[in-house]
Amino acid sequence: MKNKIELRLMQPDDLADVVALEQKAFTHPWSLQLYIDALQSYECWMMFVDGQHVGHGVISQVLDEAHLLNIAIAIEHQGQGLGLHLLEHLMQRASERGCVECFLEVRASNSPAYRLYERYGFNEIGRRRNYYPTIDGHEDALVMACTLFAD
């Protein structure tokens, strides 16, 4: 039987689950306070498979530009196409809201995320030196952009 994938907007009650997933998926996860602020300012989406929270993503919008601020899939659910499904949904939403382009930053060392973005259609357009903290220093951010097409 095919698994049932659902997407809905994040609610304050989701934040404990979101932060728990982030802490396992990221070396530098967003804090609870960051998510409380994100719920006020950005569009935050939850993804479920058969009712289980498997991932989430956050997009911001300024005029007709979107910015992908975060995307995460639970470690045990990675490598099944869920990241791409969630990214497609977030870009669809941005397009519906009138955005014509989306930007993001990704750690230079984060090959799985970089490949996901490339697979969707993002191109690398720049590099911010020493943008992200690491456990023992800093690393570059790669800046990527993608044109969004309305259906």
> Does residue 73 belong to the site contacting ligand COA (CB under 6 A)?
yes
Pairwise CA distance, residues 41 & 26, whole Å: 22
> Does residue 78 belong to the site contacting ligand COA (CB under 6 A)?
yes
Question: In the Cβ-directed half-sphere of 145, how many Cα atoms lie within 13 Å?
Answer: 8
Binding mask 11-50 for ligand COA (x = CB under 6 A): --------------xx------------------------
The token pair that represents 109 in the structure block = 């060392």
C-alpha closest to that of 106 among 90, 91, 123, 89: 123
> From the CA atom positions of the chain, what is the Rg in Å?
15
Pairwise CA distance, residues 72 & 46, whole Å: 10
Q: 119: which residues sit within 8 A by CB, 6+ positions away?
A: 84
> Does the annotation count 105 as an active-site position?
yes
> Does the annotation count 114 as an active-site position?
no
Near ligand COA by CB under 6 A, which window of 4-12, 35-43, 58-66, 74-82? 74-82
Of the residues 35, 42, 43, 117, only one is catalytic, namely: 117
Can you tell me which of 80, 109, 123, 147 binds ligand COA, judged by CB under 6 A? 80
Can you tell me which of 98, 112, 126, 133 binds ligand COA, judged by CB under 6 A? 112
Give catalytic residues, as residue numbers: 105, 117
Contact set with ligand COA (CB under 6 A): 25-26, 71-73, 78-84, 106, 110, 112-113, 115-116
